[in-house]
Structure 1
Amino acid sequence: MTVKIQVYSDFVCPFCYLGKKPFEEAIQGKDVEVEWMPFELRPSGSQPIDPWNEPSKLQGWNSYISPMAEKWGVDMKLPRLSPHPYTGLAFEGYHYAKEQGKGNAYMNRVFTAFYQEELNIGELEVLTELASSIGLDAENFRAALTSGKYKSVQDEARRHAYEEAAVTAVPTFIIGGQRIQGVTNRESFEKVLNEELAKDQGGLTIIPGLQCDVDGSCYDPS
């Protein structure tokens, strides 16, 4: 049985990038279908995330994120962008890429651009260059985002995440009938995957882990 997985994440959530490695290692070679689901921690118009000028968030990076990244061998840095960009436009680009069969490649490229290259993923030209680098047509991509073709699609994706899926923190992984809210290690992902591969999908079980909530705080709920 193919296990369907939905991953709710935001590009400016460090735990979302941190958790990609153990998650992707856990699903390798398994019969799964992964769908990335946009979740905007701070939609345009709200107060942007600015960890370089918010001591509590900077402390969270130093206390939780950086040590875990080193432990798991994840190459990432805190982007020196103040404030961090809104991600609505980047997610509009994801919807375009998904239609072209390159949704996962786009997600990976935007994440690495932000956390490894410290690029401003809120800028159209930056996003266009990233799209081109994974084989998408640059002019069509730019035109789609300039025209706002996918704005309503992203508005609906945001509403779905907040209201229907009731996501309150990211990353959130819905794996078959279980919900992992936050980052966990490879072994925990594999345990859930093996359970879901061996049974029919049922009610959701919530498993807590390292996460970022809607006020931009990143923490360990345990």
Structure 2
Amino acid sequence: MKQIHVWSDYVCPFCLIADELIERAIADRADVEVVHHAHELRPHPTPTLRPEDPYLPDIWTRAVHPMARRHQVPMNLPSISPQPYTALAFQGAQYAAARGAAHAYHRRVMTAFFQENRDIGDRDTLADLATDVGLDRVGYLHALDDDAYARRHRLALDESAAMGITVVPTLVIGRRRIQGVATEGVIARALDADAAADAS
């Protein structure tokens, strides 16, 4: 089984675009697994961004919306202000991973924020999203208060730091590391090169 390792943050719009392109690139590749890794762009207590301030509307106008339109990924600048911290959602991701729902959970949280304008820093919202992908609501809420899952998330952040991750999305396919949004063709070629390297 080949793997695409992806470092991302749930409040990074480019990460959603990258996710969509990865899904398209592997649509006919049953032997590829996507493994998601946490990287908080603005961990607490660093202030998060506010959509009413100039930066977010500007970057969305100049970069996010043009890229999203080019790749036909529907998304909008969320109105939640300030933008949520993502540690709690990532802690929930550890619970989802332990139950074999990591990929589905990741996709649900990401699309809820950028396509449905939902507050992914809110516990009840996160629990609703978890149940959407088949997770037990009570168990999920307990996990958000369980330091064992918090420790797993902290270890994931330590791994990100050890890998030198500073940009999201970052993809690692075999020996190739790709920073930023990779097109379907780039992803496919990286997978082919990884397969060829294994065969040689």
Please, what TM-score do these two structures have when normalized by structure 1? 0.85
| Counterpart position of 1:61 | 60
Determine which structure has the larger helix proportion and give its number: 2
Q: Aligned-pair distance for 1:184?
A: 2.2
Q: Aligned-pair distance for 1:149?
A: 3.3
Q: Secondary structure at the match of 1:200?
A: helix
Q: Aligned-pair distance for 1:140?
A: 0.8
Q: Aligned-pair distance for 1:29?
A: 2.5
| Counterpart position of 1:161 | 160
Please say which of residues 134-143 and 29-38 is displaced more in the overlay.
29-38
Please, what TM-score do these two structures have when normalized by structure 2? 0.94
| Counterpart position of 2:78 | 79
Q: Aligned-pair distance for 1:56?
A: 3.2
Matched ranges for 1:181-220 at <5 A: 181-200=179-198
Matched ranges for 1:97-108 at <5 A: 97-108=96-107
Q: Secondary structure at the match of 1:150?
A: helix
Q: Aligned-pair distance for 1:160?
A: 1.2
Q: Secondary structure at the match of 1:34?
A: strand
Tell me if structure 1 keeps the 8 A contact 2:9–2:168: yes
Q: Aligned-pair distance for 1:146?
A: 2.3
Q: Secondary structure at the match of 1:168?
A: coil
Q: Which amino acid counterpart does residue 66 of structure 2 have in structure 1?
A: P
Tell me if structure 1 keeps the 8 A contact 2:7–2:171: yes
Q: Which amino acid counterpart does residue 181 of structure 2 have in structure 1?
A: V
Q: Which amino acid counterpart does residue 195 of structure 1 have in structure 2?
A: A
| Counterpart position of 1:49 | 49
Q: Which amino acid counterpart does residue 42 of structure 1 have in structure 2?
A: R
- Aligned-partner Cα distance in 1 for 2:51–2:164: 26
Q: Deviations over 1:150-179 (max 9, x none)?
A: 1111111111101x1110100000001100
| Counterpart position of 2:11 | 12
Q: Which amino acid counterpart does residue 169 of structure 1 have in structure 2?
A: V
- Aligned-partner Cα distance in 2 for 1:27–1:51: 33
- Aligned-partner Cα distance in 2 for 1:116–1:4: 27
Q: Aligned-pair distance for 1:52?
A: 2.9
Q: Secondary structure at the match of 1:179?
A: strand
Tell me if structure 1 keeps the 8 A contact 2:51–2:80: no
- Aligned-partner Cα distance in 2 for 1:142–1:39: 22
